Structures are given as structure tokens and as C-alpha cells.
Amino acid sequence: MLAVNLSERVWLASCPGCGGREFRPFVSVGPHPVVRCGDCGLGLTNPQPSDAELGAIYGPDYVLVENDPIGEAMVLRSKRATADHYLDLLAAAGVTPPGRLLEIGCGAGNFLRQAAQRGFDITGVEYSPFACERARTTLEGRGRVLHGEIGVLAAERDAYDVCVLCDVIEHVREPGAFLREIFRLLRPGGVLLVVTPSLDSWSARLLRSSWMEFKAEHLYYFAPATITRQLERAGFGGIALRRGTKKLCLDYIAAHFDKYPVAVVTPVLRLLRAITPASLSGHLFSVVASGLVAIARKPGAPT
């Protein structure tokens, strides 16, 4: 078990979203209090877990996988179908190949794989060394996967046509500075797609303190107004929001709630999975559950 040094946790004196200094208690995620800014409503863990605590969380088993070939195939089908959905949203916004696509927090590389198949020139950045190796295996030599944080791209400027953040910004210690760096990396007219859990989602409102997105590694909790404010402050415009949709099956949902148990929900899903025929439990369908999708653009004409 990790020995926790409370002095190493990161305390925030003011809200990164608006600068407000009044925090209201909201929920607790184990030993980690979540508060909301009294001025803008941004949710945040305060104090944040230490680097050592986060490092222990982002271990080799952080990416959801099953321990059998059938379960692994189920996860891949869900991830790749969801990636195709996001790529369709980008296409509807005018972002089509060829072009340079950057994904920060690329995980096992499934989004990058689908983007490469459509003709994008792909680059991924991933904090976890274990996920980096999985991504390189997934991509089979296509594009590049860099280990580290966004700083590994410091030498690049106006280099990308599109950047994708799938369930990433809630993990970042300084989301404002992070978005400003992405702004610098994008070409004029470049597009940013952000997927993040939303405090305004039906699941957050229904489950309240038992919401499945309350996790120790989630440092911030956004809603439409707060993600819009963050994007605007970073320089982005043309912001379009929609409720997040993912392609999931019962097997995947049950596996997720086994890893992140929620009272009542987890045992019910286990029962449903046990009594549902395999031909149905593995069927993918669109789920609007806990997230939002924001598409924003860097001002200027594409070069």
C-alpha cells in the first residue's frame, strides 16, 4: 500500500476557472474532498492527490481490459466504434483527412488507429509508459506515440490541424495552461475536440455522490458553462457543445462498474450480464450517460 504524505498533496487557493476563492463542499471521493467554486460552479478535488498517488493509480492495469480474448475484443469494439463516432463529429465540423491529428492521452491507441485508417497523419502523447507500449502495438508502426506530457511537443508550433482530448482534461493539474498550449500547437483554423464527464449529465444528477465519474484521478469536474469558459479564456472560438455519446454494450458497462463499483448499480449489472444471452450482451448501442463533447476552433484561416 502506498504511504501517503499529506504535505505532498496540491492545495488550490483559487479557482482555475475564474479566480474565485470561495469553495463549497460537494462530495468526497474516498479521502479526497471535491468542492465547487462558489462563483463559476467548477468542480475540483482540493487538495489534489500527490504525484506519487497519481502514479500509483496510472499503473499497468489502468486501461480497462478483460483477461480473456473475448473480453478484450469487446473492449476494442466499443473503443473503436466510439472513436468512429467522434471522427464523424469532426467530419461534420469540416475536419477531414488528409491532415495532422494529435491525440493527447491516447491510451491504448484505438482512436489513433481509427483516425489513421481514415487517412490522418497521427501523433499520440501518453503519460503512462504501459499504455504507450499498447498504443504502439495497436498502431503497428503507423504515426508516432510519444511518452510524457504535452511538454514533449514544446518545439512544435502551428503544427496540427486537429487535437483530440478524450477523457483527459479532467486529469490535468492546470487545465487553463494545458488548453493554451494546445492552442499554440494548432494551426490557425485548427479544431479541438474535448470529451469530458459533465456535472450537468443525467447520470450525475441521478447518482449524485455515487456518480461513477467521481474518481481520485479526476482533478476537475466540468459542465457546459465551465468548459466553455476555459476554452474561451484559452483563445478558442466557435464553440459547439453536445451531450456525449459512446458506443457501449452490456458486457463493457458491467466490466466498468466492476472496476469502479457503485452501490446497487454494480450488483444489478452483474445480474443482468449473467442472465443476458451473449448475442445480446455484446451488442453495441449508443449511450448518452455522463459526458459532454465540445468542439472549438482556433481563430484564423487554415494554412
Domain with CATH 3.40.50.150 in the chain: 71-246+290-297
Q: Is the pLDDT of residue 1 over 50?
A: no
d(CA 64, CA 81): 16
Tell me how far apart the 2 most distant CA atoms of the chain are, in Å: 55
Nearest CA-CA partner of 77 in 96, 165, 69: 69
- The mean pLDDT value for 57-78 works out to 68
- Say whether the peptide bond before residue 197 is cis (omega within 30 degrees of 0): no
Q: Is the pLDDT of residue 290 over 50?
A: yes
Cβ-Cβ contacts under 8 Å for 172 (sequence gap 6 or more): 178, 219, 220
Write down the pLDDT at residue 302.
Answer: 73
- Cell 457501449 belongs to 248
CB 212 within 8 A of CB 41: no
The CATH code belonging to domain 71-246+290-297 is: 3.40.50.150
Write down the pLDDT at residue 291.
Answer: 94
Cβ-Cβ contacts under 8 Å for 22 (sequence gap 6 or more): 37, 38, 39
* Amino acid identity at 189: G
pLDDT tier at 65, thresholds 50, 70, 90: low
Q: Is the pLDDT of residue 30 over 90?
A: no
Q: Which three cell numbers stand for residue 224?
A: 457546459
Q: Which residue has the higher pLDDT, 148 or 279?
A: 148
Percent of the chain at pLDDT > 90 equals: 66
